[in-house]
Chain A
Amino acid sequence: MAPRDDNERNLSGRDYRKAFGQFSSNKTQRISTLKPVEVLFDAQADAGGGVHTIDFDKGDIIIKQSGMYLIIAGPQVGKVRGATPRWIDLWLRVNNIDVPNSNIRAVLIDPEEKTVAIMNSVLPLNRGDTLNIVMAAETIEEGMGLEAIAPDGEPTIPSIIVTVVQLD
């Protein structure tokens, strides 16, 4: 059998050797507890008629192929009220264990301020591993969290976009 190219296509659809997936949420997710909260997803980018090589269930991104993965997440952070600078942290969790050196922090002052805090990581993941984005905030009084925005005449801005790509 001839070796396949990454972008090779078969007649029934696209056939991918490396796993990938893009997940997003069109739902605003505000933090209502001081404990770490898992970020939920509600949409996955279509695989062009091919097989989804990475799956998801609510907040769990489920890896179906072992390998080294690049994870990039762009949460749209914001808050509802208050003018005091408040932090919101986001980090990765694999199999319910926090991933070291994956934590990022955004500080929000103004409710009108909307920031995309980029987090990225490279991790070895196995088939069946679950990946979560977890967030925690300084306070629950100011409605901090991830905001989905629907501007007029533009596509909806998701509260978070996560891209997972297998590297090897």
Chain B
Amino acid sequence: MAVHTLMPMPILEWCKKPKVLAAVVFAGFVSGTFVPYLVFGSGPDDPSCGRFDYSRRCDLSPTLFLLVDLVIGILLAIFFHYLSKRNQIRLDQIIESQEALRHKRMDYAAKQLKQLFQLTLFTMSVTKRSIAHYNLTVGLKDDEKPLWMQSVTLSELRRDEAKLGRVLQSVRSILTTANDVLDPDMVNRVDGVCNYLGEISVEQQADGTMEFPKYDVCRMKVNYLIELLQTYSRETRSFKDIVEEPYRTSPIDSEPDLAEEVKR
């Protein structure tokens, strides 16, 4: 059976309690206000002096002392209340302005991310088109100036790739500056897409043609993110995750000729 023992609470622990501290201060104030007058007597020194007289002959009576102290106390209370209220108003103003700034940053981040990912999508499409242009030049005859055409389309391709890199860099910059206002889940998702796209680069195949690897997956990932960014609400300052899915079969089905490659 457990034995419960009552341990005395140390005085220091008691003193740390705000209620105990307030009670001690209040008791000190009350005793400091009333006790001296009770000790020194309640009547005036000169019998001719009235209770509220104050002159050369008459000292302040304890009653008047008490009243003056009360008035001073009330005035101090009003003054402190005024100071406290003024500070509270200022604090509220600071909090409101910070909150407004935070909302502005979040609105800006959501809008900018959406625009940048739309730009990413566009740049990917342009890069894909440049790849198609480049691939058209592969296999051309010498009299059709294939090298010149290849050099032109290749420079376009590199320009588009560099643009995509700059856009991703901008996205990362926004993530860095707005990571304190954006939901960590959102930051992770955007970061994941950036990581994925950052590792993708146009590759040259053995036959000399160029290829944008995993283009469809990249598009799909960016589209998912744009869908999510479009759900941003300025009222709730949040994103609404989309779960509805249209039925779609996998793009790759079982290939019949694979059976030949199966080891027996």
Contacts and interface: CB of A to CB of B under 8 A. Distances in A.
Contacts of A8: none
A161 to B, nearest CB: 14
Interface string A134-166: 000000000000011111000010000000000
B119 interface: no
Interface residues of A, number: 34
Q: Could you say which of A26, A94, A130 has the most chain B C-beta atoms within 10 Å of its C-beta?
A: A130
Contacts of B228: 127
B250 A52 contact: yes
B262 A156 contact: yes
B4 interface: no
B263 A53 contact: no
Contact of B195 (A44, A57, A96, A127): A96
A42 B192 contact: no
Q: By CB atoms of chain B within 10 A, which of A44, A55, A156 has the most?
A: A55
B220 to A, nearest CB: 7
A66 B186 CA distance: 11
Max count, chain A CB within 10 A of own CB: residue among B196, B214, B221, B263: B263
B202 to A, nearest CB: 15
Given A95-B193, A126-B188, A62 B263 contact: no
Given A41-B252, A42-B258, A43-B254, A128 B195 contact: no
Nearest to B216: A57
A97 B195 contact: yes
B252 A60 contact: no
A100 B250 CA distance: 29
A128 B258 contact: no
A89 interface: no
A55 B248 CA distance: 9
B217 A57 contact: yes
Contacts of B220: 62, 128
A167 interface: no
Interface of A: 26-28, 41-44, 51-53, 55-58, 60, 62, 64-66, 94-97, 126-130, 147-151, 156
